[in-house]
Amino acid sequence: MSANKQIECPSCALYSDREELVCPYCGYEFPELSTSRKWVAWLMAFLMIWPLSKLIDLLF
Ligand SMILES: [Zn+2]
């Protein structure tokens, strides 16, 4: 009933909040969530590089 927002830690088998990136009990980093975090990091990098490449186009 209320388990859909919880994630089971593969390291200590305890349930924690789905929004947690790291298990609050043992410190295990959930791979599924850290992958989405990497995507956000890539997106941020892209958004920073994109206007920079436009600036280079204007200069050359
Ligand atoms: Zn854990």
**pLDDT confidence of residue 37:** 75
Q: What pLDDT, on a 0 to 100 scale, did the predictor assign at position 33?
A: 58
What backbone phi and psi angles, to 5 degrees, belong to 18?
-60, -30
Query: Which domain, by its residues, includes 48?
Result: 3-59
Structural domain tally of the chain? 1
* Cα 35 to Cα 42: distance, rounded to the nearest angstrom: 11
Q: What is the pLDDT of residue 32?
A: 67
Low-confidence ranges of the chain (pLDDT < 50): 3
Query: Distance between CA atoms of 1 and 51, rounded to whole angstroms?
Result: 47
DSSP bridge pairs for 15? 8
What is the Cα–Cα distance from 59 to 57, expressed in whole angstroms?
A: 6
* Ligand 1 centroid from CA 40, angstroms: 24
Tell me which DSSP letter residue 3 carries: G
Q: How far is the CA of 31 from the centre of ligand 1 (A)?
A: 12
Query: What is the pLDDT at residue 3?
Result: 46
